[in-house]
Structures are given as C-alpha cells and as structure tokens.
Amino acid sequence: MAATSHKIKLYTSHGCPWAHRAHIALAELNVPFQEEIVDLSVPRTREYLKVNPRGLVPALEFDGQVVTESGIVAAFLADAYPQAGLVPASTDANGPLARARIAFFVDTYFSKAVGHAQKAVAAYADGEAAQQPALADFVAAVVKEIEPLLADAAPFFGGSSKLTLAEVQTGSFLLRLYAYIKHGLWAKATIAHESVTCVWDEDRVIAHSRYRFAKK
Ligand SMILES: N[C@@H](CCC(=O)N[C@@H](CS)C(=O)NCC(=O)O)C(=O)O
C-alpha cells in the first residue's frame, strides 16, 4: 500500500486495552483518523454489529474495508504504513526474522504471562495472600519465558525509544500493570515486604539488566 492518504475510522472505547493497541499504532503512524466511541455499557447497536458482528472493539474501517481483532488491526496498520518502521516488511532482508521474533515475543507475553497478572488483580478484593500464587506464577513466567527473549531482542525490538509492533501490542497492558502496582491493586505490599527485598539491590539489578539487554 503506497503512502497515499487513506480514509480511516476507528471504533473504540478508551478504557479497552485491546482498542488501545490501535490508538498506539495510529499515534505512531501519525495519520488522521475518525474516531467513534462505542458505548460498551449497553448492547451494541444494529449499525455497529454490521461493522463488527462480534460486537467487540476495536474495529477499524480502512478505505471502506473492516479489520477487527486488535492484534490484527495493529499489524495491519504497521504493514499499511511501512514507512513508519513499526515492523520491517517481509520482503526486507531481515524482515521475516524480525517479524517472527516480534510475533513470538507478543505471543509469549500474552499466552504465558498476562493471564497470571490478570488473575492476581482479579483476586485484589480477597487480599494480598490470595494474590500471591498468581503473582508468583507471573514472575516465574517472566523469568522463564520473557527474559530470555529480551536478551536477544535488541536487533528486532526494544533496543531504543522507537516503538515497534512489539510495544504497540504490549504497551497498553504494560501501562495497566504498572498502574495496578502503583495504586496497590497488585503486588504493592509484596514488593515492599522485607523478605522480598532482603537481597534486592535495585541499582545493581537495573545496571546489570541494562548491560545484559544492551544492543550488541
Ligand atoms: N480479542 C479482541 C478482544 C477485544 C475485547 O474484548 N474488547 C472488549 C472491550 S475491552 C469488548 O469489546 N467487549 C464487549 C463488551 O464488553 O460487551 C481483540 O483483541 O480485539
């Protein structure tokens, strides 16, 4: 698709982390688009169900064609505007591998880690002890599944402040994760507990991680 102007309309709800993916992508592309807020507190209108029969947000109308499912919407936008550099084209020399690495990272984050975080947050009302098992599972999944991918990520994503499709797909969930911790819905007491912090040297760990995950 050439860099001509396209008619873009995003059906969204600002509280939805999935729809948020499309907003991140569109912000990075820096293209004008029309926005329609879908009220999720009431049944979907007949008009909206014609756009997206699943009744979910986001839905993207692009030159009259509808694309749904946030991961597909974000990847579609990245492909439609290759000049934005969110992901290399599959025809680039390094493109297929970079695309595979990004897709695997995103898939791993969502299939192995996010569910545990959501489970821990869902147990918020039952107290910190009830959140512990899911929290431990989340940390274990990050250590086992995510960290090894970050170590090799730098040539493909995460190596600079420039967003790639990996951050487009995960950013809204990372925002929520940090906000849950900040506002005490998740893990705040745990990560402050002296048994947890007894061997913790934040500066040292961060310096080591910066070194380990630096662009080689
Ligand atoms: N797999 C979908 C999930 C989208 C989704 O679950 N959206 C929620 C809002 S966050 C929704 O539309 N829910 C409909 C409802 O609440 O009735 C995607 O990635 O686009």
Residue 56 CB less than 6 A away from ligand 1: yes
Atom of ligand 1 at shortest range from CA of 56: 12
Residue 4 reports pLDDT greater than 80: no
User: Which of 10, 11, 13, 16, when mutated, tests ligand 1's pocket best, judged by the most ligand atoms within 8 Å of its CB?
Assistant: 16
Q: How confident is the model at residue 137 (pLDDT cuts 50, 70, 90)?
A: very high
**Rounded distance from Cα 120 to ligand 1 centre (Å):** 20
| 68 burial via Cβ count (<10 Å: 0-12, 13-18, 19+) | middle
Q: Are residues 29 and 77 in contact, defined by beta-carbon separation less than 8 angstroms? A: yes
Q: Which residue has the tokens 């969930």?
A: 173
Instruction: Report the separation in Å between the CA atom of 1 and the middle of ligand 1, taken as the mean of its atom positions.
Output: 28
Show the tokens assigned to 104.
């695997």
Q: Residue 14 pLDDT more than 90?
A: yes
Q: Does residue 70 have its Cβ closer than 6 Å to ligand 1?
A: yes
Beta-bridge partners for 9:
34, 61
**CATH classification of 8-84 is 3.10.290.10, yes or no?**
no
Phi and psi (nearest 5°) for 131? Answer: -80, -20
Q: Give residue 103's pLDDT.
A: 98
134 CB within 6 A, ligand 1:
no
Does the pLDDT at position 2 exceed 50? no
pLDDT at site 42: 98
For ligand 1, atom 12, the nearest C-alpha belongs to: 56
Q: Is the CB of 57 under 6 A from ligand 1?
A: yes
C-beta of 146 in contact with ligand 1 (< 6 A): no
Decide: 14 and 37 in contact? Cβ < 8 Å.
yes
Question: 142: exposed, middle or buried (C-beta count within 10 Å: 0-12, 13-18, 19+)?
Answer: middle
Strand-pair partners of 133: none
Give the model's pLDDT for residue 67: 98
The CA 48 to ligand 1 mean position distance, Å, reads 13
C-alpha 23 – ligand 1 centre gap (Å): 15
Q: At residue 76, what is the residue type?
A: F
Q: Rounded to 5 degrees, what are φ and ψ at 57? A: -105, 150
- Determine the 3-state secondary structure of 161 from DSSP: coil
Q: Do residues 16 and 57 touch, judged by C-beta distance below 8 A? A: yes
pLDDT tens digits, one per residue of 150-208: 888 888 998 788 899 999 999 999 999 989 888 888 777 777 777 778 888 889 888 87
Residue 203 token pair: 């500066």
Residue 214 contacts by C-beta under 8 Å, 6 or more apart in sequence?
A: 154
Predicted pLDDT at 216: 54
Q: Which atom of ligand 1 is nearest to the CA of 58?
A: 20
